Amino acid sequence: MVILVATGTVIPVAQVSDLHLGIQKKGGTLVVTNLDSTDGTLINEKRLRPGAAVSVSPGSRITFGARIFCEQFLPRTKPWLKTYQLKVSSNRVGAQPPSAFTVSKVSAAEFPDLSGQSVSYAVLQFPAGTTNPPHTHPRSAELLLLVDGSLRVGFVDTTNKLFTQTLQAGDMFVFIKGLAHFQYNADAQNQALAISAFGSAGAGTVSLPTTLFTTSIDDNILAKPFKIDVATIQALTAGPAPKP
């Protein structure tokens, strides 16, 4: 369980310590103190040192164990809301389509009011011939609705079996939480547009190409399971050659 010291509230969470953190309201400020916790406390994904006390701003995410505690004590201001609205407008699907695959997210990272609400969305824009490369979402399944165009989609299950489907506008497809999946616009002439819904305010995205080839994993470690030489791995790590 976790005890919120200022209020005496007890929240049953199996992954946290008996005395985990304290939350106190001092004037117009909320102060969080990391107490005698084993797994620690995170404020907006940043871990607190043992005994550390910090002030949190409106919309901050307080994480302990597997639980996210949404800070609700301080009023959110209109300037913050205006900033978010401008950000959404700048990412709005408009008259000029992107030249590469583009994803516009509305999650807790972009919209703090979603913290703890177990919902988020993403708008996926696929110019002709582009792909959303293999990736996973560690904290949520994905429900994709194809709004325009066509997409070839698929995922690989835990037995390494590939499931694929070609979607047309109006079709929906579910990608299971944690499984590698992809979307590909095979149409060489027309773009595709999809909207994805997630059962988490922070579903997370782990891109397999990025994780494997841009995180300084030793070339020899990658070459052996892929059964290719180190030079090929280095070429993949370097990325595409610049255009002349």
Structural domain includes residue 141: yes
CATH classification of the domain holding 56:
2.60.200.20
Cα separation, 169 vs 151, whole angstroms: 9
Out of 20-24, 115-119, 180-184, the most confident range is: 180-184
CA distances from 115 to 62, 72, 119, 140, 200 (A): 9, 10, 9, 14, 9
Q: Are residues 116 and 192 in the same domain?
A: yes
Same domain, 35 and 95: no
For residues 145 and 199, membership in a common domain is answered with yes
Q: Does the residue 75 lie in any domain?
A: no
Q: How many folded domains does the chain comprise?
A: 3
Q: Spell out where the chain has E strands.
A: 2-4, 9-11, 21-26, 29-34, 41-43, 46-47, 53-56, 61-64, 67-70, 102-106, 120-126, 131-136, 142-148, 150-156, 162-168, 172-175, 181-184, 192-198, 206-207
Give the mean pLDDT of 122-146.
Answer: 95
Please state the rounded mean pLDDT for residues 221-235. 90
Q: CA–CA separation, 25 vs 38, rounded Å?
A: 24
CA atoms within 13 A of residue 137's CA, in its CB half-sphere: 23
Residues 226 and 130 in one domain: no
Q: Is 137 annotated as a binding residue?
A: yes
Determine whether the annotation assigns residue 110 to a binding site: no
**Do 58 and 177 belong to one domain?**
no
Domain region containing 50: 2-70
Is pLDDT at 196 greater than 90 in this prediction? yes
* CA 226 from centroid of its chain's CA atoms: 27
How far is the C-alpha of 58 from the C-alpha of 195, rounded, in Å? 28
pLDDT greater than 50 at residue 47: yes
142 assigned ligand-binding residue = yes
143 & 190 share domain: yes
**Residue 96 domain-assigned?**
yes
Last residue of a domain, one of 70, 94, 119: 70
Q: For the chain, how are helix, strand and coil distributed in percent, rounded to 5?
A: 15, 35, 45
Q: Average pLDDT of the chain?
A: 77
Nearest to 221 by CA among 207, 241, 237, 205: 237
- 132 known member of a binding site: yes
Domain co-membership, 87 together with 202: yes
Same-domain check for residues 14 and 61? yes
Task: Say whether both 31 and 115 belong to one domain.
Answer: no
Domain check: are 90 and 158 in the same one?
yes
Residue 7 DSSP symbol: T
Q: Which of 7, 39, 41, 1 is nearest to 21 (CA)?
A: 41
Q: Does one domain contain both 13 and 120?
A: no
150 and 242 belong to one structural domain? no
Looking at residue 59, its pLDDT comes to 62
91 is in an annotated binding site: no
